[in-house]
Every structure is written in structure tokens, then in C-alpha cells.
């Protein structure tokens, strides 16, 4: 069995769920005839028919609104935002409707919204964002962000099976750049459970998404300096696996929080507050954040490179924290 | 080009310096090579010159602040007045991070930095460990940035302390383990476990050697005046006091008076702190059949000769009868040992922790000596002082011994 790419893993997970449960259907812009902007749903129309693979008009609000309606009557929609950046058009549907149905009526909305997010592909400000925090901030939603092909497949399946709305951020930079051997047997990755991608004892680096790979690269370099980085991949932002995060902090006593999202209002701020509040007396150094700066994602490739957190940033901060 | 003034590295093993004086103020003109500021480091104090001529535009650290080497401590504008700042953000300069204009740095204000100068800098974790383990942070040398006490510093300190507290038993055991495998006993050899006293002495001796920097200095003392005096007073003493007048009270009194002149000989070392003891409590080593014990004459600094004599005899007798109370073997600040009674000429005694010196009295014997270019016979004794060179330098130890020697040799006719 050859290695499976990240995008192929998502496709497989989606396919398997559509096979398993006839209530699962996909909808979005260009998902049916075109097979999806990134070819995630290539071949789905032929296999599952036009009632289960639906090309929608250019209206995210309509895509999500229709999905919520379908979900309320027992379907399991997997809505695609062509680029995560466009999700803002569906903001009201997601935050004021989908997120509050259970609280309001006890009604289940088993909706998944797939969002190709992230930069590094020279997409500019409207095709590179990481808008997860708007939804982390809204109670009633689950937010996941896999970093590996295995996690991508396991999480899409778990998201589809979840009874409540799940916003699924798939990092488009990783689509064809990472691959791994996946088990033949069915597997799920639980929502709400972080994964320690690299065990270490000197510094806990907490991150998610494409940045996991930068962290692992940096860990190799830091290891040569005798600095042993523990890389904690959150995988799920909401609900947060606080236990895994805090156990790691208690072990290493030093923390780096890393995300590709911009600094202000980014998840690192939330984590820093939790860590300081709950493990203050375990800290042997300041809680460090590595994030993008507070600007839109640049058009210009060198500027985008400057904007995105780099492996060299992680190495620099890691070395500083190690001698603090 | 404007210039950064940096904290220089004064030696290979020096990694930080403390600013002790600024000779110029912000706005002053400085000439190249003119002394700009003074620093103090572990090895040397130094004057640091300005690298270029110009106007001192910024001073980043004040007198009393300690910074890592190569940290920018000031900026000098050159003649065109262009100001060079490497950060626009108020980044703590001690962390010499390259600033790329990104906000991914530590941000500490300078006032925070100077606040932290008062207490030893550490972290919440280290403070908690100090609280839980009852550690005084001022005892620990910090190896973190700016002399901060790190987790590792605390762990190292605790493991050292545990070794000391257990009487270096683990250390001894470890050393023993290395030897033990090589030690064999054959058929007729008798293997006897150590007594408790023996074990305690063994642990204490090796722990002492591993703690102090032992150096011994030897002086020769003319005991003739004291011998004559002692003979004169011996009968009267027995009659009046009921005890025999030995040499010990003379030595004890001489030592006490010399300790008053050189109080550092009566001190203790705790981490980087010197504890000058208010009291002078003299321990007298007493040989026992199965080992030794050191009863302590407490308050010797305010005790007269007679009282010292009585106490010394009393403690020694009860020591031999094993009738000492725990109080009486604790709290010593200086120890005297007298193997001279067994014939030893001179010794290299081991310091009785946590003291910093011990005096060893050799046998008093008649020897030919030179006085006024003539060879005469006098009763001489070698006095050896082992001292802890961490605290006491050779010169001071010798001043102490000189003073003691003079007192002993110039003992007046009375014994008050």
C-alpha cells in the first residue's frame, strides 16, 4: 500500500462515511461536476449521484443555511467552503443558528463544514487565512485542525459522526506535501484529544495544523544543541484537551505556543492564560508565543515568507527559553 | 556610524559583568578610548573605554545592574547624530535576540528588571521549590540569564544538600561501591561492621574534606613561660580548685583572645554568605577508646581563665565517662585538638564542620633553639592550624597564629 497524501486521506474518510451512512452528503461550490477546487470530491458525483453531491451557488450563507436545514431533519451534511477565507459570509448562519440549536431547542445539528485554510501557497489575503478563532470563540461549535494524513482521515470521520456542528480546518499547504502509510482497517481519531507528536523534556511546544511540521523540524535542530522539545499537536481546538497540555507543561516547565494564525486573539493567548492560571508554579520561564503578525496575509511571496512563523523562529525562541 | 557599547568579556570563563560606575551621562560628549564606565566581574574590576568619539545617546543599564557579556549597555552617536536603536519595542536587552520587527519576543519593562535586582531572580517554579524544600534562595548561585536561579540550579543545589544532610553517606557509599567490589577478604580476615560512632566519624570526616579547602599552617611556640607558670601554680590549683592545672586552659584562653581579634576564624560559610558567630564556643577533642568526641565549652568569649579550666576538666572527664548531654557536643565555633599528649609532633587536622578552622597542639618537648644567636634549650611545641581556604587566606591565618603565639609566649605572671 503506497503512502496516502493528506488530501487523499480526507477524500478517503469522506468517501468511507458516505458509503457507510446514506444520510451523509456533500455540498459546496464546484464539488460535484468539477470534483472540488482541490479535487477532494473527484469521482464522488459518479459514485453517489447528484442528490448526495450538490453544486451550490456562490453563497456560503446559502450553503450553510441549507446544511443546517438538512441537518435538522436528520441528514448529515458535509459543507465545503471553497477557501476558509469565505466562511465569513456564512458567519451568522454558523454562529447564531448552527451553534445555538442545541442550547435553544435541544436540537442536534450534525453538520461538518470543511475549510481549506492556511497560507504558504502565495494565495494572498483572501485565500490564505486561518479564521478558526471566530468559531473557537462561539460556544456550541467544535473546531478541529488535523496536521497529518492519519489525523485528517480519522478526524473527518469523527466529525461526520458527531451530533453537533464541527468546523474542520484542513490546511491546504499540507494537501500534497505530506503523506504517510495509513492502516487498511477503519480507524477514528477522537475529537477533543491532543497528540504528542514528539516526546521531550525541556520545552513544551503546543501547536496545531501545518505548524506541527515546522515544530518537528525545529526539534531536530534543537536536539543538536541538547534541547529536547516536546511537540504537542492539539488536533482539536474546541473542546481543548487541557489535561495533555498541562501535563506537558508540568513536566518541562517551559512553554512555546505556536500557530500560523495572527497574534492578537489567536489561540496562543487563550492557552497562555490557561497555563499561567493553572500551572503558574510550574513555570521556569515566560510563556512564549510564536505567531504571524497582526496583518492580512501578504500577496508578495517574500513578504508572505516573512509573515509566516518559520522553523528558524522556533529554533531561536527555543534556544533563548532553554537558557532563561 | 553610531556605535553600540557592549559589556566586554574580561576572561575566558567570565560571562557577565556588573556596572559599578558611569563616568559620563546621557548627552555628554565622549572621546574614543576615554573611560566611559567601570565594571566588576568575578575575576577583575575594570575601566571600559568608549569605542568611538561622539555623544552618549543612551544608557541602558544602571549602576548595580549585572548583564551578560556582549549585551549592549549604551549607545554613542557619532558626529552625524544618527541614532541607532536595534529595537523599537521595549525588549529586555539582556536577552540578545535579533529583532526582526516581529512581536514574538519577551517583553519586560526596565523597571521590572531593576525591581528584580533586590531578591534573587528566579521563577514561580523555583520559588515554589524553595518554599517546599525550605531553601534560602540567596544560597544558590544562578546560572540563568542575568544570574537567574533556574530549575536546574535548584535541582543541583537540592541534590548537593541532600548529600550533605545525610552526612555525605550517599557520596561515601558511592565511593565505597567503587572500591568495595575491589576489596576482598580471605579466610582468616575478620569482618566487623562499624559502630555507630565510627560510622558518624567516618561520614563527618570525608564530608568535611569534600566541603572545605583544607590548608594547614604550622607555628612553633616557646612554651617555657607557661610551663614555669604552671609549675608555680600547680599545687595552689589543686588545693583551691580540686583539679589539676593542665596546659589546655592556657591554649583555650589564648585562642579565645585571638579569635576576638580575628572573628572570621570563628565564622561559618553558608553558600555565599559568611556567618560571623556572636559566641565563641570552643570544642575540645577528647580521645575515647572507640573513637573521639568533641565537647564544647560554650560562651568562652565571656569566661575567665579559671572557669575555662574548670569546664575543660569537667567536660573531658564526663566525655570519658560517656556522661555528656547532647547540648554539650553541639554549637562549637572553633575546635582544639591535642594529640601532643600521645606524642604527636604536629598534625594536619580535619576541620570540624561547619567551622572554618581547627588548632592542633603538638607535644611539648625540650628542643635546642636559637635565641639572640645562642643555642639554648627551651620547651617548644608545634601548633598546626588547618583552615578553610574558601573563606580564610593564608596571610590571615598566619596573623591569627602569630597573635596566638605572642600571647602564649608572652604570658604574664598571673593567669587572670
CA distance B60 to B70: 13
DSSP assignment string, B323-387: ---GGGGS--SEEEE-GGGGT-S---PPP-TT-SEEEEE---EEEEEEETTEEEEEEEEEEEEEE
Confidence grade of residue B77 (pLDDT, cut at 50, 70, 90): confident
Give the model confidence (pLDDT) of B233-278 as tens digits: 888 888 888 888 899 999 999 999 999 999 999 999 988 889 999 9
pLDDT greater than 70 at residue B416: no
Whether the predicted pLDDT of B337 surpasses 80: yes
Residues of chain B contacting A285 with CB distance shorter than 8 Å: 123
* pLDDT for the residue numbered B402: 96
What pTM did the predictor assign? Answer: 0.55
pLDDT at residue A101 tops 50: yes
pLDDT at B84: 43
Closest CB to A323 among B125, B126, B145: B145
Please, what are the domains in chain B? 3-115 (2.40.50.100), 124-165 (4.10.320.10), 213-409 (3.30.559.10)
Give which of A132, A153, A157, A130 is closest to A143, Cα–Cα: A132
Give catalytic residues of A, as residue numbers. 127
Residues of B serving a catalytic function are 389, 393
Rounded to whole angstroms, how far apart are CA atoms B315 and B319?
6
**Least CA distance to B95: which residue of chain A?**
A320
Beta bridge partners of B245: none
Predicted local confidence at residue A287, as pLDDT: 97
- Residue contact B150–A284, C-beta within 8 A: yes
* A-B Cβ pairs (cutoff 8 Å, strict): 48
Chain B residue nearest residue A319, CA to CA: B97
> How many Å is the maximal CA-CA distance in chain A?
60
> What band does B117 get if pLDDT is binned at 50, 70 and 90?
very low
Rg (chain B; Cα; Å): 30
Could you give the angle at the alpha carbon of B340 between the alpha carbons of B335 and B342, nearest 5°? Answer: 115
DSSP label at residue A298: P
pLDDT in tens, A245-301: 999 999 999 999 999 999 999 999 999 999 999 999 999 999 999 999 999 999 999
| Collapsed DSSP state (helix, strand, coil) of residue A45 | helix
- Model pLDDT, residue B82: 46
ipTM exceeding 0.90?
no
- Chain B: closest CA distance from residue A122 (Å): 20
Q: pLDDT class for B194, splitting at 50, 70, 90? A: confident
Percent of chain B with pLDDT strictly greater than 90:
47
The answer to whether residue A24 scores a pLDDT higher than 80 is yes
Structural domains in chain A plus CATH codes: 4-180 (3.40.50.970), 195-323 (3.40.50.920)
Straight-line distance from the first to the last Cα atom of chain B, in angstroms, rounded to the nearest whole number: 77
Counting every residue, how long is chain B? 416
Q: What is the pLDDT of residue B125?
A: 94
Interface test with B, best of A250, A268, A284 (most B CBs within 10 A): A284
Residues near B369 by beta carbon (within 8 Å), at least 6 away in sequence: B222, B375, B376, B377, B378, B380
Tell me which residue in A263, A283, A285 faces B103 most closely, judged by beta carbons. A263
Q: Is B177 helix (H, G, I), strand (E, B) or coil?
A: helix
- pLDDT digit string, tens, across residues B355-392: 999 999 999 999 999 999 999 999 999 999 999 999 99
Among A80-89, B175-184, B335-344, the range with the most confident prediction by mean pLDDT is: A80-89
Report chain A residues touching chain B, CB-CB < 8 A.
Answer: 253, 263, 280-286, 288-291, 293-294, 306, 309, 313, 316-317, 320, 323-324
Q: In B, which residues are within 8 Å of A253 by CB distance?
A: 125, 151
Helical ranges in B134-241 per DSSP H: 151-165, 169-180, 196-211, 224-241
Question: Averaged over B151-171, what is the pLDDT?
Answer: 77
For residue A323, the chain B residues in CB contact (below 8 A) are 144-145
Among the listed residues B313, B18, B309, the one whose alpha carbon sits nearest the alpha carbon of residue B146: B18
> Contact at 8 Å (CB) between B397 and B212?
no
| Set of chain A residues whose Cβ sits within 8 Å of the Cβ of B148 | 324
Amino acid at each position: 500500500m503506497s503512502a496516502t497524501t493528506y488530501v487523499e486521506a480526507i477524500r478517503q474518510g469522506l468517501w468511507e462515511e458516505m458509503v457507510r451512512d446514506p444520510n451523509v452528503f456533500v455540498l459546496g461550490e464546484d464539488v460535484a461536476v468539477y470534483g472540488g477546487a482541490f479535487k477532494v470530491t473527484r469521482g464522488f458525483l459518479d459514485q453517489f449521484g447528484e442528490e448526495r453531491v450538490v453544486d451550490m451557488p456562490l453563497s456560503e450563507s446559502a450553503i450553510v443555511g441549507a446544511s443546517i436545514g438538512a441537518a435538522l431533519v436528520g441528514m448529515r451534511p458535509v459543507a465545503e467552503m471553497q477557501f476558509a477565507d469565505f466562511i465569513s459570509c456564512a458567519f451568522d448562519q454558523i454562529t447564531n443558528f448552527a451553534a445555538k440549536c442545541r442550547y435553544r431547542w435541544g436540537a442536534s445539528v450534525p453538520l461538518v463544514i470543511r475549510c481549506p485554510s492556511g497560507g504558504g501557497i502565495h494565495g494572498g489575503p483572501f485565500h490564505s487565512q486561518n479564521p478558526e478563532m471566530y468559531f473557537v470563540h462561539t460556544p456550541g461549535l467544535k473546531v478541529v485542525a488535523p496536521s497529518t494524513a492519519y489525523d485528517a482521515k480519522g478526524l473527518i470521520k469523527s466529525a461526520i459522526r458527531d451530533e453537533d456542528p464541527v468546523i474542520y480546518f484542513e490546511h491546504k499547504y499540507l494537501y500534497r506535501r505530506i503523506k504517510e502509510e495509513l492502516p487498511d482497517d477503519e480507524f477514528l481519531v477522537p475529537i477533543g484529544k491532543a497528540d504528542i507528536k514528539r516526546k521531550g523534556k525541556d520545552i513544551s511546544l503546543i501547536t496545531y495544523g501545518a505548524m506541527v511540521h515546522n515544530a518537528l523540524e525545529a526539534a531536530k535542530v534543537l536536539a543538536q544543541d541538547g534541547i529536547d522539545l516536546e511537540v504537542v499537536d492539539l488536533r482539536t481546538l474546541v473542546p481543548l484537551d487541557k489535561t495533555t497540555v498541562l501535563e506537558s507543561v508540568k513536566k518541562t516547565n517551559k512553554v512555546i505556543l505556536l500557530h500560523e494564525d495572527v497574534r492578537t486573539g489567536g489561540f496562543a493567548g487563550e492557552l497562555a492564560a490557561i497555563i499561567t492560571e493553572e500551572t503558574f508554579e510550574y513555570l521556569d520561564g515566560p510563556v512564549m508565543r510564536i505567531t504571524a503578525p497582526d496583518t492580512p496575509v501578504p500577496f508578495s511571496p517574500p513578504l508572505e515568507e516573512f509573515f509566516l512563523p518559520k522553523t528558524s523562529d522556533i529554533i531561536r525562541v527555543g534556544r533563548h527559553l532553554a537558557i532563561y | 556610524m553610531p556605535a553600540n557599547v557592549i559589556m566586554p568579556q574580561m576572561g575566558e570563563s567570565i560571562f557577565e559583568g556588573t556596572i559599578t560606575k558611569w563616568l559620563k551621562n546621557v548627552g555628554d560628549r565622549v572621546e574614543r578610548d576615554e573611560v566611559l564606565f567601570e565594571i566588576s566581574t568575578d575575576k577583575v574590576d575594570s575601566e571600559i573605554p568608549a569605542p568611538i568619539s561622539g555623544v552618549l545617546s543612551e544608557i541602558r543599564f544602571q549602576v548595580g545592574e549585572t548583564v551578560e557579556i556582549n549585551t549592549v549597555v549604551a549607545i554613542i552617536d557619532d558626529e552625524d547624530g544618527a541614532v541607532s536603536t536595534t529595537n523599537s519595542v521595549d525588549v529586555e536587552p539582556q536577552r540578545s535576540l535579533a529583532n526582526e520587527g516581529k512581536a514574538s519576543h519577551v517583553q519586560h519593562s526596565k523597571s521590572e528588571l531593576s525591581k528584580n535586582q533586590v531578591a534573587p531572580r528566579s521563577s514561580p517554579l523555583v520559588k515554589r521549590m524553595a518554599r517546599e524544600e525550605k531553601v534560602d534562595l540567596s544560597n544558590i548561585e544562578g546560572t540563568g540569564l542575568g544570574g537567574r536561579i533556574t530549575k536546574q540550579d535548584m535541582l543541583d543545589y537540592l541534590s548537593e544538600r541532600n548529600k550533605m544532610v545525610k552526612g555525605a553517606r550517599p557520596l561515601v557509599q558511592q565511593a565505597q561501591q567503587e572500591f568495595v567490589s575491589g576489596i576482598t577478604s580471605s579466610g582468616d580476615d575478620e569482618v566487623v561492621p562499624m559502630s555507630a560512632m565510627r560510622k558518624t566519624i567516618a561520614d563527618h570526616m570525608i564530608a568535611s574534606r569534600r566541603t572545605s579547602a583544607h590548608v594547614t599552617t604550622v607555628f612553633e611556640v616557646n612554651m617555657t613561660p607557661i610551663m614555669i607558670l604552671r609549675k608555680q601554680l600547680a599545687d595552689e590549683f589543686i588545693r583551691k580548685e580540686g583539679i589539676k592545672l593542665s596546659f589546655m586552659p592556657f591554649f583555650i584562653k589564648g585562642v579565645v583572645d585571638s579569635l576576638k581579634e580575628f572573628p572570621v576564624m570563628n565564622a561559618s560559610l553558608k553558600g555565599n554568605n559568611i556567618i560571623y558567630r556572636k559566641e565563641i564556643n570552643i570544642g575540645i577533642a577528647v580521645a575515647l577508646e572507640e573513637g573521639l568526641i568533641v565537647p564544647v565549652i560554650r560562651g568562652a568569649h565571656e569566661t575567665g581563665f579559671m572557669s575555662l579550666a574548670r569546664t575543660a576538666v569537667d567536660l573531658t572527664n564526663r566525655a570519658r565517662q560517656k556522661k555528656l548531654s547532647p547540648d554539650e557536643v553541639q554549637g562549637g565555633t572553633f575546635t582544639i585538638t591535642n594529640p601532643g599528649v600521645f606524642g604527636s609532633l604536629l598534625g594536619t587536622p580535619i576541620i570540624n564542620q561547619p567551622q572554618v578552622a581547627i588548632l592542633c597542639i603538638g607535644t611539648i618537648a625540650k628542643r635546642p633553639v636559637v635565641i639572640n644567636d645562642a643555642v639554648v634549650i627551651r620547651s617548644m611545641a608545634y601548633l598546626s592550624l588547618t583552615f578553610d581556604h574558601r573563606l580564610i587566606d593564608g596571610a590571615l591565618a598566619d596573623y591569627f597564629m602569630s597573635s596566638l603565639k605572642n600571647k602564649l609566649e608572652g604570658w604574664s605572671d598571673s593567669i587572670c
